[in-house]
Amino acid sequence: MPQINSPQTMSNDSNITHWQAFWVEVLWYLCRGFALLPRVVRHYVVGYPIYLMMHYVIRYRRKVVMHNLRNAFPEKSDKELRQICRDVTRNLTEQIISTIDKAGLGRKGLLKRINIIGIDEVREQTSGRSMVFLTAHYGPWEMGTTISYGMPEYEIMAVYHPLKNRVVDELMKRIRKHDGVAMVPMQQTMRYFISNHQKQPLIVGLIADQNPKTRAGQPWFRFMNQWTAFFDGAETIALKYHLPVYYFSPKRIKAGIYEARMTLLYDGVEQVAENVITERYIRALEQDIMAHPGLWMWTHKRWKKKPPQEILDQEI
């Protein structure tokens, strides 16, 4: 079969067949058409029935969500947890629609959807240096790439895990690249950074709350009342190249409309102990989740991996 390669993605894994490329085009233009609908239609006329279907008919991962919530919030009643569970499904529906929106929105349209507060201060603080940008599956996580419009002198390298479904993977990459973002597979992060950071300042964007592949010496942290493993790759690259690290903290205003702040976690100069930067990220994320638990994606088995016994013994 002939192959089509995406030139803006640093991986041969983006090769797809003509048939797959056809479906990517179909879905892309459907997304662009959907984005032209009024916000009320997208998020309420279309979005609300999808939420009802996902939560009450399909019951999408409700058992997993409730299990995670009970462990994280043992002090909350079942009534409170069920409300958070509904909020989780509603937010997931909203983020699906907001992601589709990006296919049909240009700079002006996207900046109406999210207001990033203090971006000029960040530019002053970094003074053209490369930086690390950490976000999480919290609120409008796909909207983080809109910082490219406020910091045009930077190249945004969005680190991602390729999806198994090639058509969906290509569609998601195209939606993200619509903001002028370079999509870099996780395993190629360091290579891409080393090859490009001297040509142009880079923003290394990472959604850092996913399950890492645990290894010997893996750092574990208390997070949402449980021992949790986290990626420490962001800290590694920040310390090695003296990069400032920022946390993207979003806030929901109403359906499809958000604002966000970029909080400095590390200035690239401070002398810090091992795991301190990762710990700061975790605490910032935990604070956001505690304030609005329904905005985090509780739908995955985040705590299926258990720490070594010596970690558990610390609780005794």
pLDDT tens per residue across span 261-313 = 999 999 999 999 999 999 999 999 999 999 999 999 999 999 998 888 887 77
Residue 315: is its pLDDT beyond 70? no
**Bridge partners (DSSP) listed for residue 249:** 261
**At how many degrees (to 10) do helices 233-241 and 276-291 cross?**
130
pLDDT of residue 214: 80
Choose the weakest-confidence range: 139-153, 233-247, 287-301: 139-153
pLDDT of residue 14: 54
List the domain range (segments joined by +) for residue 96.
3-315
Percent of the chain past pLDDT 70, that is, above it, reads 94
Residue 314: is its pLDDT beyond 80? no
Choose the weakest-confidence range: 86-90, 102-106, 256-260: 102-106
CA distance 15 to 21: 9
60-71: average pLDDT: 98
151-168: average pLDDT: 91
171-182: average pLDDT: 84
Choose the weakest-confidence range: 91-95, 177-181, 208-212: 177-181
8/225: higher pLDDT: 225
Residue 2: is its pLDDT beyond 50? no
pLDDT of residue 285: 98
pLDDT of residue 3: 37
Q: Are 176 and 147 in contact (CB under 8 A)?
A: no
HEC assignment per residue over 122-183: HHHHHCCCCEEEEECCECCHHHHHHHHHHCCCCEEEEEECCCCCHHHHHHHHHHHHCCCCEE
Q: Are 132 and 264 in contact (CB under 8 A)?
A: no
CA distance 120 to 123: 5
Report residue 158's pLDDT band, with 50, 70 and 90 as the boundaries.
very high
Residue 218: is its pLDDT beyond 90? no
Reading the block at residue 102, the tokens are: 């990006």
The structure's pTM equals 0.91
235-242: average pLDDT: 96
Residue 9: is its pLDDT beyond 60? no
pLDDT of residue 277: 98
Separation of CA 219 from chain center: 21
Mean pLDDT of all residues belonging to the chain: 90
230-247: average pLDDT: 95
**Bridge partners (DSSP) listed for residue 229:** 220
Bridge-based pairing state of the strands 226-229 and 220-223: antiparallel
pLDDT of residue 316: 55
Closest CA to 281 of 312, 315, 236, 242: 236
Q: Give me the number of domains the chain comprises.
A: 1
pLDDT of residue 309: 81
